[in-house]
């Protein structure tokens, strides 16, 4: 029996490849090479399925070279690498990996809040450089987490997880802004209060961004928004690059318009705006918020399950465009 052909576009756990190989003829990229759009399309030319990550752009140009493609399973909860309308128009199912990374990502988001507020990276660099010779009363004095006001922009599952950590673990006053307000039950569970975006910016001691990227959220935090924040405030972005105007943020950090920032995502990543590398009051991590071994394995397994289920039973587990394909 001839197995359907799929492409695994980035390196992944060997056990995930083994599972997929039981059902499919798998072309993999365990060398983790970075392919051009043309190379990706070439490799997809005879494939019915693709296992992708957030760095693999699937758009009309790529789809034009992949006439047999039926599904792209993203090993990520975010999917701004997918052109959903183009995929739907070509009859290609799109899936992602929600839920399995919620708690791990919320853990990391709160870790960034703490590292940013308490100047952990900045002080470590100072120590490693051999500058620490004596104690002083104001050495890397940062801001408190406990009892402070935690602001959350984007109150989906991860935002709610961060809210609970702040409210229940650190006695924080939690405020949030979202496209739609949570139910009263969820607000009570998170101990969170809904406010306008303007109030969120002006009131938060620590502002965390957890909203999905779209044209509407591009540069949701730019120079104007940063100017509304407290000079003692911190900003953490674990959402997507492009939600923050990185150039404007670098200026705000340099001028001490806000106290500090913690960033796990960047515009144009893996490139980082060079000005962000020159300011000391920023914690920078390479898009690793979901990077625990159990969670990354769960993400890989869910992406694999989507491929297996859809290509063998015509049923995706976590579809993004099922309604469009059904129409």
User: In this structure, what CATH number is given to the domain that contains residue 218?
Assistant: 3.40.50.720
Asked whether residue 62 falls in the same domain as residue 171, the answer is no
With tokens 């296992």, the residue in question is 51
Could you give the count of Cα atoms lying within 13 Å of 55 in the half-sphere of its Cβ? 17
Q: Are 143 and 234 in contact (CB under 8 A)?
A: yes
Do 191 and 93 sit in the same domain of this protein?
A: no
Dist. CA 121–CA 88, nearest whole Å: 44
The half-sphere exposure of 23 on its side-chain side, counting CA atoms within 13 A, is: 18
Task: Give the model's pLDDT for residue 324.
Answer: 86
For 294, phi then psi, to 5°, come to: -60, -40
Six token digits for residue 140: 């890397």
Give residue 1's pLDDT: 77
* β-bridge mates for residue 49, sequence order: 6, 71
**pTM of the shown model:** 0.91
Cα-based angle 138, 201, 146 (whole degrees, multiple of 5): 45
Start-to-end Cα distance in the chain: 33
Same domain assignment for residues 196 and 308: no
Instruction: List the chain residues with pLDDT less than 50.
Output: none
The angle formed by the CA atoms of residues 42, 47 and 50, to the nearest 5 degrees, is: 95
| Residue 222 and residue 81 in one domain | no
At residue 2, what are phi and psi to the nearest 5 degrees? -80, 125
Assess whether 142 and 230 both reside in one domain: yes
Residues 86 and 136 in one domain: no
Active site (catalytic) residues: 240, 269, 287
Contact 166, 176 (CB under 8 A): no
The CA–CA distances, whole Å, from 15 to 31, 76, 261 equal 16, 18, 37
147 and 91 assigned to the same domain: no
Residues 300 and 164 in one domain: no
Note whether 42 and 168 are same-domain residues: no
Structure tokens at 118: 């308490």
Our count of domains for the chain comes to: 2
Q: Do 232 and 91 have their domain in common? A: no
One domain for residues 15 and 66: yes
- Domain interval for residue 298: 5-98+293-326
In this structure, the answer to whether residues 71 and 131 fall within a common structural domain is: no
The predicted pLDDT at position 327 comes to 64
| Number of other residues whose CB lies within 10 A of the CB of residue 135 | 6
């Amino acid at each position: 029996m001839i197995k359907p052909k799929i492409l695994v576009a980035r390196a992944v756990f060997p056990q995930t490849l083994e599972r997929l190989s039981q059902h499919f003829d798998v072309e993999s990229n365990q060398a983790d090479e970075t392919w051009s759009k043309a190379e990706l399309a070439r490799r997809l030319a005879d494939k019915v399925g693709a296992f992708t990550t957030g760095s693999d752009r699937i758009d009309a140009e790529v789809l034009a070279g992949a006439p047999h493609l039926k599904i792209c399973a993203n090993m990520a909860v975010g999917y701004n690498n997918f052109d959903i309308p183009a995929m739907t128009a070509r009859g290609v199912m799109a899936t992602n990996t929600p839920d399995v990374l919620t708690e791990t990502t919320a853990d990391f988001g709160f870790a960034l809040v703490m590292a940013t507020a308490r100047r952990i990276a900045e002080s470590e660099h100072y120590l490693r450089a051999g500058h620490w010779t004596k104690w002083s009363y104001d050495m890397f004095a940062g801001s408190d987490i406990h009892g402070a006001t935690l602001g959350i922009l984007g109150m989906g599952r991860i935002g709610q997880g961060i809210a609970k950590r702040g409210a229940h673990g650190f006695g924080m006053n939690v405020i949030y802004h979202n496209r739609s307000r949570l139910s009263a039950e969820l607000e009570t569970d998170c101990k969170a209060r809904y406010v306008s975006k303007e109030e969120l910016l002006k009131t938060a001691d620590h502002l965390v961004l957890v909203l999905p990227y779209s044209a509407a959220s591009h540069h949701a935090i730019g120079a104007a928004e940063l100017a509304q924040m407290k000079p003692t405030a911190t900003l953490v972005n674990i959402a997507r690059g492009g939600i923050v105007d990185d150039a404007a943020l670098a200026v705000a950090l340099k001028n001490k318009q806000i106290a500090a920032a913690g960033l796990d995502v960047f515009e144009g990543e893996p490139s980082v705006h060079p000005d962000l590398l020159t300011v000391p009051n920023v914690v920078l991590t390479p898009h690793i918020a979901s990077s625990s071994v159990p969670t990354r394995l769960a993400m890989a397994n869910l992406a694999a399950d989507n491929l297996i289920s859809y290509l063998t039973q015509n049923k995706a587990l976590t579809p993004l465009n099922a309604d469009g394909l059904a129409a």
